[in-house]
Amino acid sequence: MELAGYAGASTGGHSAVRLLKDLDVDIDGRHVLVVEDVVDTGLTLNFLVRTLSFRHPASVAVVTLLDRPYRRLVDDLPVRYVGFTVPDELFVGYGFDVDERHRNLPDLHLARSSDQI
């Protein structure tokens, strides 16, 4: 699945989530593991979990590399496996980027600003 979150005038300034790509397989009765890079507010993940639940999976669990539970706006997310609980800071490397830069670094770096990387 592919989701996109956005905020704008059409949503009254609030965040909304759009489904860009749906599943190609039936998940009825199957155990589903959602792999996330970062879980912050949980708004997008909540949309995803609710969308998946309409398809009657046996279970849904989430694994995330980085977790920021203190930023949650949604309770009861099935985040079961967490790599690291991190502060509200910007990380680059290992696939994370700032303005499309530093994504290719082989490990995570804490960036105070985009000039300090």
Write out pLDDT tens, residues 19-51: 999 999 999 999 999 999 999 999 999 999 999
- Residues that are catalytic: 40
Q: CA 85, CA 68: separation in Å to the nearest integer?
A: 6
Q: Mean of the per-residue pLDDT values for the chain?
A: 88
| pTM for the full predicted model | 0.81
Would you say residue 67 has pLDDT above 90? yes
Q: Where does the pLDDT of residue 11 fall: very low under 50, low under 70, confident under 90, or very high at 90 and above?
A: very low
Instruction: Give the sign of the dihedral formed by CA 75, CA 37, CA 14, CA 54.
Output: negative
Whole-angstrom CA distances from 47 to 38, 111, 112, 115, 116 are: 15, 29, 31, 35, 35
Give domain limits for the chain: 2-86, 89-117
2-86 CATH: 3.40.50.2020
